[in-house]
Chain A
Amino acid sequence: MEYVLRTADLSKRYRQGRALNGLTMAVPKGAIYGLVGRNGAGKTTLIRLICGLQAPSGGEYRLYGRRHTDRDISRARRRMGAVVETPSIYLDMSARDNLKQQYRVLGLPSFEGIDELLELVGLADTGKKKARHFSLGMKQRLGIAVALAGDPDFLVLDEPVNGLDPQGIIEIRELILRLNRERQITVLISSHILDELSRLATHYGFIDGGRMVKEISAAELEAACRKCVRLTVTDTAALARVLDAMGAEYKVLDGRTADVYEKLNVSQLTLALAAQDCELLDIRERDESLESYFVSLVGGGRHA
C-alpha cells in the first residue's frame, strides 16, 4: 500500500510535558484518515509537526517518502495543504484576494483556477466582501480553499467543523467527500465530533496520551461495531448447532456467550435450544458506535 504520511516513534516535548510520546501511524494514499482523541491527546501537535510549524523532539515522519530532516522536504510539503485550528486568512482581504495572495506565495504563474476554487467551496458570489465579515463556516471554507491552492494531493484539516452550525457541518462534510472522490485528495482530519467523523473517514487513528492506541480501517471498524445480539446460554455447542441449522452468522465468545449477527426469531430459537437441552439465559442487543468503540479503547474517564 502506498502511504502519503508515515510517522515512526514521533515525540514532541514542551516545557509543560510531553505532547507526543512515540506516535507511529500511516496514512494511506486516497484515504480520509480520521484522527480521534481527547483534548490534549496530541492531535493538533501531530498536525503542527507534519506541517513544519514545529520540529519533533524525537522520532521521524515521512511525507511522500521524504524524511522530515531531508533537504527536499519542502518539495513534498508543496503537495500538501492544511488548515490548522483556525483558518489562516487575511481578514482585511476578500476571498479572491486571499487566494491570489496564496497563489503568489506558491509562485504560480497565473491566477487561473481561482474561480473554480471559489465555486468548489461555495464562495463564488462573495465579491469584494472582506473575510472579516464572513460567517465562521465561510471562513472555514475559505481556509480550505487557500489550502487547496496549488492543487495539493494531501489535505490536513484540524477540527474543521468546530463551532459550525448544522448547515455548515454538512457543507464541510460534502466538500471533503467531493475533494476525496473527485480529486482523489488524501485527507487527514482530526475531530471531536465522532458521529461526523464516522460519516467521512475510511481509516481511523485513535490517539491517547500522545500515542497511537489503534489504527483501523472503516471496514474493520464496521465489523467490530456490527449490530449483533449477544446470547447467554447454558451450552454454546448446542447453540452453535442450532445457529448452523438456521444458517445464521455468529461468533462464540466463551462457553456461555455468543454474538449473532442476524435478526432472530426468539421463539423459534428458544424452542430449538430446548430441543438440544440448552437454556437461553439472557438476550441483549448490542450496537457499538464509533464513540463507544473509542471509549472502550481509551477509557471513558474524560470526554473525547
Chain B
Amino acid sequence: MHDLLRAGFARLWRAPILWLGVAFMALCGGMVCCTVWDGTQEGIVYFMGDLCRYHCIVTVFLPAVFCALFLGTEYEHGVIRNKLIAGKTRPAVYLSSLVLSLAACFLMIAAYFLPVCIIGPFFTEGLGVSPGMLALTVVGELLMAAALCALCTLGSMLISRKAILAVTLLLAVLAGLAVGGNVAGRLGEPEHFQGLMMTEEGELVDASDMENPDYLQGREREVYQFVADFLPTGQALLYNFDMIVHPWAMCLYSLLILTASTAGGLLAFRRKDLK
C-alpha cells in the first residue's frame, strides 16, 4: 500500500481539483471573517467557536466533488487496472483511495481554518465555549467529513462511470441535506410560542405561554434526534447552526459509518468485476 500511497500523493499534489478546493475553502474562510467583521460593526458579538462551525454545510460537498473527479478518473482512464495487474491487492487499492480522499478533504478544511484562525481572533470575543468543547466540536466535524469521505470512496470504487458517479454522489449529498434540514428544522421548533400571535379573527394575543404543536416530544423527538445525530449531513447542519446535543454520540456515529462503509466497500470491491 505504501507504493500506492506514494503514487497517489504524487498525483494528488498535481491535481487541480485539490488546489481549487483548497482555494475555495480558504475563500470561504476569508468571507466568513469579512461577514463577522461586518457584524461586529453593527454591535453583534461573535466567538471563535462560531467561526469554527460555519464551514460544515460547504464541507459536505467536498468529498463528493473530490471523489467524483479525482477517484472517478481512475476508472475513466482505466488506470485502476494498472495497479491490479501490477500485483497490488484490492484492499490496498481501496484503502489507498480512502486515505487520499481523507487527506484531500482535511487539507481543504484546513484551508478554511487558516484565515479563520489568523484573522478571526481580531474580531471575536474569546472562544465562546470551553476549549475542550471546541476541540470536541472540531474533531466531530473532521469525523463527519471522514464519514462522508468513506461513503464517497465506497461509491467511487463501485461505480465505474465517472458521470454517473458524479451525479449519484451529488444527488446523495443533496438528498442527505434535505433530510437533515427537515429533521433539524423539526428539532429546532420551540417548545412554546414566543411573543404575540394573530388569531384567525385578526386579534393579537400574548402567545408566550402557548405550546407549539410542532414541537417534538418523547419517542418521536428521540428518533428525530438520532437521525440528525447519525446522518453526516444532519450532523453538518447541527454543527453549523449550533444545535449539538450529543457531541460524543455524533463522533461515535461518524466512526461507525467510517468503519462500516469501509468494511462493506472492501467486501464489495473484492467481488467487483472490473473491465
Interface residues, chain A, with chain B CB atoms under 8 Å away: 14, 48, 51-55, 74-78, 80-82, 84-91, 100-102, 104-107, 146-147, 150
Binary contact track B1-45/A, C-beta < 8 Å → 1, others 0: 011101100110000000000000000000000000000000000
Q: Which of A76, A77, A104 sits near B10, CB closer than 8 Å?
A: A104
Q: Which of B11, B77, B86 sits near A78, CB closer than 8 Å?
A: B86
The 5 closest A-B pairs by CB, nearest first: A104-B7, A107-B3, A74-B87, A88-B78, A77-B87
Q: In the complex, which residues of chain A have a beta carbon less than 8 angstroms from the beta carbon of B6?
A: 104, 107
Provided the pairs A90-B73, A106-B3 are in contact, do residues A51 and B79 lie with their beta carbons within 8 angstroms?
no
Q: Which of B3, B81, B84 sits near A104, CB closer than 8 Å?
A: B3
Q: Number of contact residues on B: which range applies?
A: 20 to 34
Contact in complex: A78, B78 (CB < 8 Å): no
Taking CB as reference atom, which chain B residue is nearest A106? Answer: B86
Q: In the complex, which residues of chain B have a beta carbon less than 8 angstroms from the beta carbon of A52?
A: 84-85
Q: How many A-B residue pairs have CB under 8 A?
A: 80
**How many angstroms from the CA of A300 to the CA of B41 in the assembled complex?**
86
**How many angstroms from the CA of A75 to the CA of B86 in the assembled complex?**
9
Q: Is B256 an interface residue (CB 8 A)?
A: no
Q: Which of B10, B81, B83, B85 sits near A80, CB closer than 8 Å?
A: B85
Measured between C-beta atoms, what is the minimum distance from A12 to chain B in Å? Answer: 9
Contact in complex: A105, B273 (CB < 8 Å): no
| B window 233-267: CB within 8 A of A | none
Taking CB as reference atom, which chain B residue is nearest A108? Answer: B3
Q: In the complex, which residues of chain A have a beta carbon less than 8 angstroms from the beta carbon of B7?
A: 101, 104-105
Contact in complex: A51, B78 (CB < 8 Å): no
**How many angstroms from the CA of A98 to the CA of B85 in the assembled complex?**
16
Contact in complex: A48, B78 (CB < 8 Å): no
Measured between C-beta atoms, what is the minimum distance from A100 to chain B in Å? Answer: 8
Contact in complex: A74, B88 (CB < 8 Å): yes
Q: In the complex, which residues of chain A have a beta carbon less than 8 angstroms from the beta carbon of B83?
A: 105
Q: Which of A14, A48, A86, A102 sits near B82, CB closer than 8 Å?
A: A102
Contact in complex: A51, B77 (CB < 8 Å): no
Provided the pairs A89-B77, A90-B11 are in contact, do residues A107 and B85 lie with their beta carbons within 8 angstroms?
no
Q: In the complex, which residues of chain B have a beta carbon less than 8 angstroms from the beta carbon of A84?
A: 78, 81, 85
Q: In the complex, which residues of chain A have a beta carbon less than 8 angstroms from the beta carbon of B273?
A: 14, 48, 53-55
Measured between C-beta atoms, what is the minimum distance from A195 to chain B in Å? Answer: 28
Q: In the complex, which residues of chain B have a beta carbon less than 8 angstroms from the beta carbon of A147?
A: 85
User: Can you name 18 A-B pairs with beta carbons within 8 Å?
Assistant: A51-B84, A52-B84, A53-B273, A53-B274, A74-B87, A74-B88, A74-B89, A75-B87, A78-B86, A84-B78, A85-B78, A85-B275, A88-B78, A88-B80, A88-B81, A90-B79, A100-B10, A105-B83
Taking CB as reference atom, which chain A residue is nearest B73? Answer: A90
Q: Which of B77, B88, B275 sits near A48, CB closer than 8 Å?
A: B275
Q: Which of A54, A77, A102 sits near B274, CB closer than 8 Å?
A: A54
Q: Which of A51, A85, A89 sits near B85, CB closer than 8 Å?
A: A51
Q: In the complex, which residues of chain B have a beta carbon less than 8 angstroms from the beta carbon of A74?
A: 87-89
**How many angstroms from the CA of A14 to the CA of B79 in the assembled complex?**
23
Residue of A55, A105, A106 with most partner-chain B CB within 10 A: A105
Q: In the complex, which residues of chain B have a beta carbon less than 8 angstroms from the beta carbon of A102?
A: 82, 86
Q: In the complex, which residues of chain B have a beta carbon less than 8 angstroms from the beta carbon of A107?
A: 2-3, 6
| B window 170-225: CB within 8 A of A | none
Provided the pairs A105-B4, A106-B3 are in contact, do residues A146 and B84 lie with their beta carbons within 8 angstroms?
no
**How many angstroms from the CA of A78 to the CA of B85 in the assembled complex?**
7
Taking CB as reference atom, which chain B residue is nearest A74? Answer: B87
**How many angstroms from the CA of A39 to the CA of B120 in the assembled complex?**
65
**How many angstroms from the CA of A105 to the CA of B79 in the assembled complex?**
11
Taking CB as reference atom, which chain B residue is nearest A80? Answer: B85
Provided the pairs A86-B78, A90-B11 are in contact, do residues A77 and B275 lie with their beta carbons within 8 angstroms?
no
**How many angstroms from the CA of A92 to the CA of B275 in the assembled complex?**
21
**How many angstroms from the CA of A252 to the CA of B11 in the assembled complex?**
67
**How many angstroms from the CA of A52 to the CA of B274 in the assembled complex?**
9
Q: Which of B4, B77, B86, B89 sits near A150, CB closer than 8 Å?
A: B86
